[in-house]
Amino acid sequence: MLEIRGLTATVEDKPILKGVDLTLPDGEVHGIMGPNGSGKSTLARVIAGDPSYVVTGGEVRYNGLDILGLSPDERARSGVFLAFQYPLEIPGVTVANFLRSAATAVRGHDVPALAFYSELQGHLHALHLEDDWATRYVNEGFSGGEKKRNEILQMMVLEPKLCILDETDSGLDVDALKIVSEGVNHMRGAERSMLIVTHYLRLLEYITPDVVHIMLDGRIVESGDVELARKIDAQGYEYLRGAAT
């Protein structure tokens, strides 16, 4: 699904990614952990095509296609999805209209209103959301947990093949974390891969990853199963810092 080789990137001429190598097979869920400033969110945004970051080397292949030359919307239409760490508010645009427009763009054909609202209602119920959620303006007045649930709702509607979740657990209480995790687990499948960026073990206890990667100083320095995340939670990153030099 995703192959990254020797990826380097800068923001405002400051090197952030310094040679990232990562392979994400079809149907697998991989977690990425690391301290602040290690490059986790930069990696997520570079894959999605954020123009704030300049790729200076390496390659990113999605289903064999080099996507570095594609615009963000082209990547999205091809099945790449990014759930933001800090979702933006869109005043005056309802959740339902926003999602129907996005679904139309991704699916490549008009989505009839009645059929879409019936589909959307099913997703709302799966996330323990009331029907009137669809009439709210996108993220306006939403709590942090509501914004994150709205990101998962978008993912469920758009059904992307590659899901990148950038610190989806930040700002969530335990109940919201469980609901978001249920939504993510519901989306797992043989033809969908997920890359989950997180600081904390707790999310990976609800969404058990196939592989956990540790990033330090712009590189992946260690990979393993969820036991690696538990070790980091217990010991911190100090014992790995020598591997990043």
By residue range, what is the domain housing residue 11? 2-244
Q: Structural domain tally of the chain?
A: 1
Question: Could you please report the per-residue DSSP string of 175-230?
Answer: HHHHHHHHHHHHH-BTTBEEEEE-S-HHHHHHS--SEEEEEETTEEEEEESHHHHH
Q: How confident is the prediction along the chain (245 residues), in pLDDT tens digits per residue? A: 999 999 999 998 899 999 999 999 999 999 999 888 889 999 999 999 999 999 999 999 999 999 999 999 999 999 999 988 788 899 999 999 999 999 998 888 888 888 899 999 999 988 888 889 999 999 999 888 888 889 889 999 999 999 999 888 777 778 878 888 888 888 888 989 999 998 888 888 888 899 999 999 999 999 999 999 888 888 888 777 654 44
pTM of the model: 0.88
**CATH number of the domain within which 105 lies:** 3.40.50.300
